[in-house]
Every structure is written in C-alpha cells, then in structure tokens.
A = this chain, B = another copy of it.
C-alpha cells in the first residue's frame, strides 16, 4: 500500500483520521520528513511518526542490515556466538510513580527487549544524564532501584557513564540502558516468521503502566491506586521457550500499547491479524480510567507484558506454561493471524462489529517511558 497517506500532524487517536491501513513500510509523508521543519513530541511516541523518523532518517544514514529489521533488539553474531543487543533511553515523567521509578523501568525495559529475542539478559550498561540541581537522594533512589531490579532479573550493570547538563536543559534524570544476552540455539524470533494460523497470546492485563503514570501526572484518582506493571520478563520467556523453541515472535507492548505491537508485527510479517476485543484482558480500573479520559486501552503502554505469536499446535501448551508463571498468570489467547487483509489488524467488537486497529501517529501520553 505505497500510496497510503497520513497527515504529518493531527489529533491524538488514529481513529480520528479514518485511515484504512496500518502498513508502516508503505507509510509515506505528504511532505518528505527531511523537509518537515521540526521534531514534534509524536516523533518519540513509538507510532507512525517514530517509524517515519527511523525509516527516513536513521536507517538510510546508518545503512545497516540489522537496524533495518527494526526489532526491539538486534540479533548479532560475534566470535561465533549469537547475541541480542538492545538499547532504550528513558525520559518518563514523573521519575517515581506507583509500582516503580525510572530506574527499574530502565533495567526491566532493556531486559525485556532482549527477552523478546529469546535472550536472557547478561550485562547492562547505564548512561545517566543528570540535570544540575537535581536532589542527590533522587539520584541515589534511582540507582538503588536499578540495582534491585538488576539483581531481581539476574543481570549485571557492567559499565556506565554520567553527564550533567545545566538546570533547564534536562528534567532531573534521563537514563539510557543497553544490554546484551545470549540467544539460545534454535530460537529465532522475528515477525517474518509469523504465518497465517498463528495464535496470538497476551501475557496478562493491559494498560496498567500508562494509566498509573497518567494518574499521578494528572493528579487523577480512580477509586483504587493503579500500579505500573513494570517487571522483567526473562523468566516468563524462558518458561515459554521450554515448551518449544519454535515460537514465532514476541513483542513487549510498551509505547503505543498492544495496538502498536500488533500493527508492527502485521506490517513486518505481511500477515493479517484478527483479535477478539472481548478476549483482551483489561482490568476494570483501567477500563474505567480510559473511559473517563477518552482513551482506548489497546493504545496504552505496558511495561511487564508481552504478546506472543505461537504456532497453533503449541498454543495450548505455551498458554499453560505462561499461566504457571507469576508474570503470566493472566495470559489469554486474544486472536489469530489470517491470510486476508495482510498487514492489517482488525478487532471484532463485543457487539459483533469489526474495526480496524491502526498504528497510532504518536503517543496518547508523551514521556510514558
């Protein structure tokens, strides 16, 4: 669908734009991005604008084969060993939120990106960009949370760097983590391996991280305190791979939520995806908060969930293994891949209707991670 056109700025929800497809590989800008004058918040949202930045600026500039695969982590070969290698920067606001802080988020986020390649994280790097004047106990609290999260995930922070910028050029603490881990033999998790007939499984309740951030940032109360689901998924993935190494693809639905993860996989695999809305686990507190705020839980960020595309013959056994793990207790089959509408994600509504699930343009809520 190379002639698909999206506006380069606009409302927060893709539904507003009434667009028919989710094919980001064919996503073209009415104005080529290099002629767009400035970066907007949506370029960091993990949606179509982010993809455009990567595809039109970074990928051509860097010119690598591996980056062009656009996975959560890169699978590289070094000294005869297959490694997963990944990085994320973290600019979440506020720094501390119910269920976590930027420190454990930065550890778990990179551990999870590696886990989505099937790799157990072995070593992390961490880069701090501190704003002059930030309180030292804040820095210590973030560092302590990183250390605790690293120990919990069984990963070692091996190298680091700290820079300080003047007050007014940062926001307390920005963090970057990169990580490396071994990919076990026989494991090959890529969207390109998805085929029609695969079963789509999500590991539990969606929307918790985004709603937790929103509740503290906007000072909203929803009756109960909603905590981020921030957690390291390496152990859950290991228990799934113990059933079969032949999983097709895993993705942790962070920025852009479950919708963005599904759209990216549909596009990269050229496969259609059909999900049953009723089957998607949405906690009532998240549903209520989203109803009040006019958000769709499928677009809200998660930090301790994964979505798996599994060959049909292994689906029940993988689901059982997930439910036996504390971080997969709420796992559910939410849909399947189909031959029709390749590259497009469709949701069946509880009332029997059908809607297109589109890649978000930016992020409903900036600086969610």
Contacts and interface: CB of A to CB of B under 8 A. Distances in A.
A63 B149 CA distance: 12
Contact of A143 (B61, B71, B82, B156): B61
A160 B54 contact: yes
Copies per complex of this chain: 2
Contacts of A76: 122-123, 156, 158, 180
Given A89-B128, A129-B91, A34 B136 contact: yes
Interface stretch (A12-20, A37-45, A234-242, A272-280): A37-45
A132 interface: yes
Nearest to A45: B164
Contacts of A74: 123, 125, 158-159
B134 A38 contact: yes
A115 interface: no
A35 B164 CA distance: 19
B147 A63 contact: yes
Interface residues of A, number: 89
A44 B123 CA distance: 23
Interface in A36-75: 36-45, 50, 53-54, 57-58, 60-67, 71, 73-74
A326 interface: no
Nearest to A145: B61
14 contacts: A34-B136, A34-B137, A34-B140, A37-B136, A38-B135, A39-B133, A41-B166, A44-B164, A58-B160, A62-B157, A67-B157, A67-B159, A78-B81, A89-B128
